[in-house]
Amino acid sequence: MSRRLRIALLVLLAFTAGTAHPQDAPTPPALQGASPQNPQGLGKAPPPLVTTTGLVHLVVTVTDHRHQFITDLDKSDFKVIENGQAQEIKFFGRETDLPLRIALLLDTSNSIRPRLEFEKDAAVDFLNKVIRRNKDLAFLMTFDNEPEIIQDYTGDLDRLMTAIRAQRAGGGTALNDAIFMASEKLAHAPLPGGSETEVRRVVVVISDGQDNLSDRALTDAIDASIKAEAAVFSVSTNTDWLAVDDGNKPSKYHLEAGDKVLEEFADQTGGHAFFPYRIDDLAQSFLDIGTELRSQYFIAYAPSNPPPVGTYRPIDVQTARKGLIVSTRKGYYGAAAPAGN
């Protein structure tokens, strides 16, 4: 299939999904120049009974300075700025119950061999707490020299846990390829039956962020996640911490190169990056992810000046309450207008 035909088909798929993100687009300016050798080149779904074709969908998390989730905000508390212009919010809701479609990515490269058992324990605990029977689905992917789907979409916790427990470490690290592949799979995730047709797409990746084998650049992987409306939640396994003898738990005063990559994935897609102090703090990081997924808002708006097809458009979501931190994806890609418009 030619590249032009492939792009056309992907754009058509994006349009029929009713979202504002075509499948081939230039890189956001802030990310230009990134590559596997220079990784520092430095959503989403409406309530089931609402048709939001042509709207931009955002899933928003709000916290205070103590990192406590704020879940009592109303539509009037938010302002959406696109490309410097305020936008009218068309739909708003406290999004806590949409079915989840989770891509769980385990780094099984040699670099994390000493930490793999903790990874597996934390991942099993996370799925036990988050996956709801007959509602949520997850798939397991590992990545070392290349990404591999170990267990396809399932809601069967026993199958997922068995697959996780069986993993062994060895090889290099193809992180970008794994997130790219997982995002594309999430873009075509199974939808619920009946009247409920919307899901929330999430990538959860445990890694040290040290990519050394990917064919895809960092920007390719981020773009794939944005287009799939998949938020990336990354948990760092790096243990290089700067301890300060002041009686408190050390803080991550210095981010390693891999940490910055994990942070970039989360920041651009509306997820969150976690840097547990000890390896056995991984479980708390996963618990925090589960809590965040149940403490979010849904916002949809129609751009007052829609971007051309394939053009990246930055978004800034603000809240009127002082001292709060708003997290969501940083932008989207312009899509083809609906037929007949």
> Are 273 and 309 part of one and the same domain?
no
Q: What is the pLDDT of residue 54?
A: 81
Specify the DSSP element, H or E, that contains 93. Answer: strand 89-95
Predicted confidence band of residue 250 (pLDDT cuts 50, 70, 90): low
pLDDT at 32 over 60: no
Q: What is the pLDDT of residue 337?
A: 57
Distance separating alpha carbons of residues 207 and 115, to the nearest angstrom: 10
pLDDT digits (tens, 9 = 90+) for 97-132: 789 999 999 999 998 888 898 889 889 988 998 999
> Are 215 and 239 part of one and the same domain?
yes
Within-domain flag for 35: no
Number of independent structural domains in the chain: 2
> Are 181 and 268 part of one and the same domain?
yes
Average pLDDT over residues 34-51: 37
Domain of residue 110 covers 100-293
> Are 84 and 173 part of one and the same domain?
no
Global pTM reads 0.79
Average pLDDT over residues 213-222: 97
Average pLDDT over residues 220-245: 83
Within-domain flag for 34: no
> Are 248 and 165 part of one and the same domain?
yes
Q: What is the pLDDT of residue 315?
A: 96
User: Residue 117 belongs to a domain with what CATH number?
Assistant: 3.40.50.410
Within-domain flag for 210: yes
> Are 269 and 153 part of one and the same domain?
yes
> Are 85 and 128 part of one and the same domain?
no
Within-domain flag for 119: yes
Average pLDDT over residues 254-258: 84
Within-domain flag for 7: yes
> Are 307 and 209 part of one and the same domain?
no
DSSP state, residue 69: B
Predicted confidence band of residue 73 (pLDDT cuts 50, 70, 90): very high
Within-domain flag for 244: yes
Q: What is the pLDDT of residue 189?
A: 96
The more confidently predicted of residues 51 and 207 is 207
> Are 209 and 316 part of one and the same domain?
no
Within-domain flag for 151: yes
Q: Euclidean distance between the first and final Cα of the chain, in Å?
A: 30
> Are 199 and 307 part of one and the same domain?
no
> Are 57 and 197 part of one and the same domain?
no
Distance separating alpha carbons of residues 184 and 147, to the nearest angstrom: 13
Percent of the chain with pLDDT over 70: 77
Within-domain flag for 11: yes
216 contact partners, CB below 8 Å, separation of at least 6:
36, 176, 177, 180
Give the residue from 277, 293, 309 where a domain finishes: 293
The more confidently predicted of residues 86 and 251 is 86
Q: Spell 78-87 as b/e; 16+ CB within 10 A means b.
A: bebebeeeeb
> Are 190 and 308 part of one and the same domain?
no
